[in-house]
Amino acid sequence: MSKYDLLKKHFGYDLFRNGQESVIDNILSKRDVFAIMPTGGGKSLCYQLPALMNEGVAIVISPLIALMKDQADALVENGVKATYLNSSLSAAETNIRINEIMRGEHKLIYVAPERLLTDSFFNLIKTVNISLIAVDEAHCISQWGHDFRPSYRNIPRFIARLEKRPVIAAFTATATEHVVNEIKEILKLNNPFELITGFDRENLFYKIVKPKDKYKYLKDYIDKGFTDGSGIIYCSTRKTVESLSKRLKEDGFLAEGYHGGMETEVRTQVQDAFMLDEAKIIIATNAFGMGIDKPDVRFVIHYNMPKNMEAYYQEAGRAGRDGKSSDCILIYSPSDIVKQKLIIAQNMMEREREQLQLTNLQILVNYCHTNDCLRKEILEYFGETTGKNNCASCGNCQNDSEFIDMTVESQKALSCIYRTNQRFGVNVIIQVLRGSKSKKIIDWNLNKVSTYGIIQDVSEGGLRELIMNLIARGFVRMTVDNYPVLKLNESSRAVLKGEEKILLRKERVEVKDKKKSKQIRKADFDFNQALYDLLSLKRKEIATEKKMPPYVIFHNTVLEELAYSMPTKKEELLKIKGIGEKKFDNYGEAFINVIEDFKAESAVI
């Protein structure tokens, strides 16, 4: 049968998608292949169809058990004999499949990289004719990729042990130029045919939001905009997955949580429920999603910051595989940056890799602060130029809100970095500009620099937005380590001299009315306004849950004292007027968590 006949018979298509036919033809002509195709671009067909046309069997190396099962099951449904070998099978099931392979009953065998070097698998493979080795999710082989799997390094050693080298085809949806070169080098691809079909997914709508109350935004979005299909919400920690899925279920949504700490059987049940539309929304860590080909995912929301642009692109790309319009929303919060940096630090990796991960995280942070087209930012990261500055279909390009000129404030911020000898990070610079009387500012004599207190009419959040925008646009450099500091560079001069204007969207910068600002009540002490706002949000959340006024939880004066002294121990909280043993038992831990997160952020950012 011709490739077109097989395409129609087994897959139900009359035509190939962009790039598929050229990849298939090169594999059939015995040439190695390296292909970068976006999620939903039809990578799997590129090795499945040649496997049907060639003599022998194709080995497909896949990183996840769920991914192997789904693809093998789908092929069987399409009338193609395929199987998989992994740890989910019993000894009896494994023996049955081994016998089937030895009898030549299968055209494709899906296998995890961990199994490649086992004697039992290698002895099995010696009995069959291998026509093709397809490496799926090939970015996992690169230690500089976003999802490095050490077991993928088994692949070259496995190939080297074979008596006859088959065609090698590597596929991925995400890879920078550096990662591409490493993949080709490690796999020793022989003059490969290379294909990059492009990273743009025109049906995806990218948006960055910065709400004061994340959960309220999420709930409102699902209530108002989610009418059909399904959705995925990504969180950075298992704890967040559990708490968020609990709240959504309590609010009446068909939602389930998914993370790597759950029992395998439970994870399988959750994934099956999602695929069968019994659960409309999955709240998950990045353990969920690779190989999930559910076509009607109408939104992917990142409730927390992902670890880098590659991870974001791949996870967001799980939306709209059916080609219909779908939303990719990243909910930004500075505290999420802290969480990611802590995760990086806890992984105990070599210094060079840690530095790279911090750099890649900062690129994503810059993306969250740009005024430019979000689609353009993503494509340029992967080395693709669009020639357009406005895609008309992302959150920034559709935002017609007013810009305000923040050039003077930018000059003051740059001067402050200079006057403090380029030794401090974002939080300290903000405190100096706003004239904070905190103990560390006084102890370090930063209240004596000429830029102390020179910006009084911009909120702390507004100043943070301004400085992060300067970093994103390259007018300020932030060092890459766990305690980054701000540095000036040659580009800073253009802003200082007034040659570059700095415009920010008005909605992102709170500028106080100077006439009214004098009427704002002053506390008896200089508490941290940003922490006060976070504590107030937590109080409101608890009050709403308990259906009682916020002041019943804690009075404003209690929150001010908490935002001033920042206690993290029981005995410290009990010293504050208005907090007794019962109040501490009911609410103490919740407020301590807010303070600890804030202090961690202040130390890192």
Task: Look up residue 268 and give its two tokens.
Answer: 């399988």
**411 and 500 share one domain:** yes
Instruction: Answer yes or no: are the C-beta atoms of 232 and 282 closer than 8 Å.
Output: yes
Domain end position, chosen among 517, 538, 571: 517
Nearest Cα to Cα of residue 116 among 129, 102, 133, 99: 133
CATH number where 138 lies:
3.40.50.300
Residue listed under structure tokens 């301004």:
466
How far apart are alpha carbons 378 and 199 in whole angstroms? Answer: 8
pLDDT at 605: 44
Residue type, 367: Y
Residue at 388 is within a domain: no
Spacing of C-alpha 290 from chain mean position: 13
Residue at 49 is within a domain: yes
Domain that holds residue 87: 3-196
The 3-state DSSP class for residue 486 equals strand
pLDDT at 194: 94
Residue at 391 is within a domain: no
Residue 130 CB contacts under 8 Å (≥ 6 apart), including other chains = 56, 57, 58, 59, 162, 164, 166
Residue at 252 is within a domain: yes
Residue 98 CB contacts under 8 Å (≥ 6 apart), including other chains = 85, 124
**412 and 344 share one domain:** no
Residue at 395 is within a domain: no
Residue 103 CB contacts under 8 Å (≥ 6 apart), including other chains = none
Residue at 12 is within a domain: yes
Task: Look up residue 209 and give its two tokens.
Answer: 């939001």
How far apart are alpha carbons 360 and 348 in whole angstroms? Answer: 17
Nearest Cα to Cα of residue 21 among 40, 7, 36, 1: 7
State how many domains the chain has: 4
CA-CA-CA-CA dihedral for 35, 38, 43, 44, to nearest 10: 140
**351 and 415 share one domain:** no
Residue type, 64: L
How far apart are alpha carbons 393 and 182 in whole angstroms? Answer: 34
Please list the alpha-helical segments (H only) found in 253-306. 264-275
pLDDT at 525: 54
DSSP 8-class letter at 114: G
**232 and 351 share one domain:** yes
Instruction: Tell me the C-alpha to C-alpha distance, in Å, between residue 400 and each of 86, 462, 503, 505.
Output: 52, 19, 14, 9
- Between helices 589-604 and 334-346, what is the axis angle to 10°? 80
Could you give the count of Cα atoms lying within 13 Å of 144 in the half-sphere of its Cβ? 15
**303 and 369 share one domain:** yes
Question: What is the C-alpha end-to-end distance of the chain, expressed in Å?
Answer: 61
How far apart are alpha carbons 5 and 79 in whole angstroms? Answer: 14
**236 and 358 share one domain:** yes
Residue listed under structure tokens 């008005």:
506
Full DSSP string of 515-531: HHHTTSPPPSS---HHH
Domain end position, chosen among 166, 196, 226: 196
CATH number where 556 lies:
1.10.150.80
**189 and 215 share one domain:** no
**267 and 316 share one domain:** yes
**49 and 184 share one domain:** yes
Instruction: Answer yes or no: are the C-beta atoms of 318 and 229 closer than 8 Å.
Output: no
Could you give the count of Cα atoms lying within 13 Å of 15 in the half-sphere of its Cβ? 3
Residue at 523 is within a domain: no
Query: Mean pLDDT in each 10-residue stretch from start to end of the chain (605 residues)?
Result: 91 89 96 89 91 94 81 88 90 93 94 91 91 94 79 93 95 86 94 89 94 93 82 94 95 92 88 88 84 83 92 90 91 86 75 82 92 93 82 91 92 96 95 93 94 92 92 90 87 94 83 43 63 89 84 84 90 87 89 88 57
CATH number where 426 lies:
1.10.10.10
Domain end position, chosen among 462, 489, 517: 517
- Residue 467: burial class (beta carbons within 10 Å; 0-12, 13-18, 19+): buried
Residue at 396 is within a domain: no
**324 and 420 share one domain:** no
Name the strand (E) or helix (H) holding 304. none
Q: What Rg value do the Cα atoms of the chain yield, rounded?
A: 27
Other C-beta atoms closer than 10 Å to the C-beta of 304 total 23
Residue type, 90: S
The 3-state DSSP class for residue 476 equals strand
Nearest Cα to Cα of residue 307 among 315, 319, 299: 315
Instruction: Tell me the C-alpha to C-alpha distance, in Å, between residue 520 and each of 352, 455, 456, 514, 516.
Output: 49, 16, 13, 11, 7
Residue type, 370: T
Task: Look up residue 64 and give its two tokens.
Answer: 């996840």
Task: Look up residue 339 and give its two tokens.
Answer: 């969480």
**296 and 319 share one domain:** yes
Task: Look up residue 455 and give its two tokens.
Answer: 């910006």
**224 and 360 share one domain:** yes
How far apart are alpha carbons 35 and 23 in whole angstroms? Answer: 8
